[in-house]
Amino acid sequence: MPLRDLLPGLFAIALWALNIIVIKVGVTEMPPLLLTTLRFTLVALLLVPFYPVSRHQLPFLLLLSLTFGAMHFALMIIGLEQAEAGTGALLVQMGTPFATLLAVIFLRERMGLKRLVGLLLSFSGIIVLAGGPSLPAPLPTTLLLTSALGWAISQLLIKRGPNIAPMALAGWVALFTVPQVALGSWWFEDHQWQIIQQAGVKGWGAVVYTAVMSSIVAYGLWFSLLRRHDVNRVVPMTLLVPVLAVILGILLLGDSTDIYKLGGGGLVVAGVGLIVIRWRRRRLV
């Protein structure tokens, strides 16, 4: 990949890794569902007026808002509130193995030995993480793995759904997600208006960063890269997200470092790598 394309791709990866840290900081000033509500509201305001969709696409976007907006993003932010940044990123990375399993079950895709080994390595990594102190309590762990499952389901829906421009998809999914997470915030959280008034740089910075830098800038760069290069050359770079998140969590948040996190995280990344990276045999000239 030319350097002029590689650098924007790596920049998008860095934005997503830093997004994990920003969320961790943001939920110290705002409860997770309120932060998610404000994030999606800002995304919708910035994108929906400029990316219209047809009426027949609305039911699909509403369904995607349930799996991608509420199930993936909202549960991820709730789970990250009670988990270390790096460990949370590793758990969410299990979306790729989940997507592989769902594709085999529902789309009749072929498993293959390489993908099977990748699945076994990924789930082995979770077992190793479970033996260490960095794995969060059962509830946030379940929320983060359910968030990964939401991502996996969303990928299958997008694969089978109508062809919608990426920014239109992001904007309208955000719009339909707002009432869902707002209702959740109203039901489970308190003093929202007071928190909004008192929030400082950490809270509002997290809202702006997750909406603008992570959702719009990073995905804009990423989809631009996908249009110019094979998916096989682009997607493997996402393996750097949990690696960078672990490093940033240690450097910026003082997260722990232990053999379970390093070993389990290595197994998860290696397993996902086997699933997403496709090797081609070179011809001998």
Question: What span, in angstroms and rounded, lies between the C-alpha atoms of 163 and 62?
Answer: 15
Question: What span, in angstroms and rounded, lies between the C-alpha atoms of 31 and 237?
Answer: 31
| Predicted local confidence at residue 93, as pLDDT | 86
Number of domains in the chain: 1
Task: Cite the DSSP H helix spans in the chain.
Answer: 3-26, 32-47, 58-64, 75-80, 85-92, 95-106, 113-130, 138-160, 166-188, 192-198, 201-208, 219-228, 231-234, 240-253, 259-276
78 part of a folded domain: yes
Range 21-25 average pLDDT: 94
| Predicted local confidence at residue 257, as pLDDT | 80
User: Which of 130, 132, 166, 158 lies closest to 60 in space, CA to CA?
Assistant: 158
Residue 154 Cα distances to 85, 95, 99, 266, angstroms: 23, 10, 9, 26
pTM: 0.87
192 part of a folded domain: yes
* Residue 281: pLDDT band with limits 50, 70, 90: low
285 part of a folded domain: no
Domain of 131 in residue numbering reads as 3-276
Range 210-214 average pLDDT: 94
281 part of a folded domain: no
Residue 234 Cα distances to 28, 95, 108, 154, angstroms: 34, 17, 25, 19
Residue 273 Cα distances to 29, 86, 235, 284, angstroms: 36, 18, 10, 26
226 part of a folded domain: yes
* Residue 285: pLDDT band with limits 50, 70, 90: very low
* Residue 64: pLDDT band with limits 50, 70, 90: very high
Task: Please determine, for residue 284, whether its predicted confidence score (pLDDT) is greater than 50.
Answer: no
61 part of a folded domain: yes
Instruction: Give 104-113 contacts, CB < 8 A, sequence gap 24+.
Output: 106/156, 107/156, 107/159
284 part of a folded domain: no
Query: Residue 215 has what DSSP assignment?
Result: I
Percent residues over pLDDT 90 in the chain: 46
- Least confident window among 56-70, 125-139, 255-269: 125-139
Residue 179 Cα distances to 42, 62, 67, 114, angstroms: 13, 11, 14, 42
231-252 pLDDT, tens digit each: 566 667 778 888 888 889 988 9
* Residue 230: pLDDT band with limits 50, 70, 90: low
235 part of a folded domain: yes
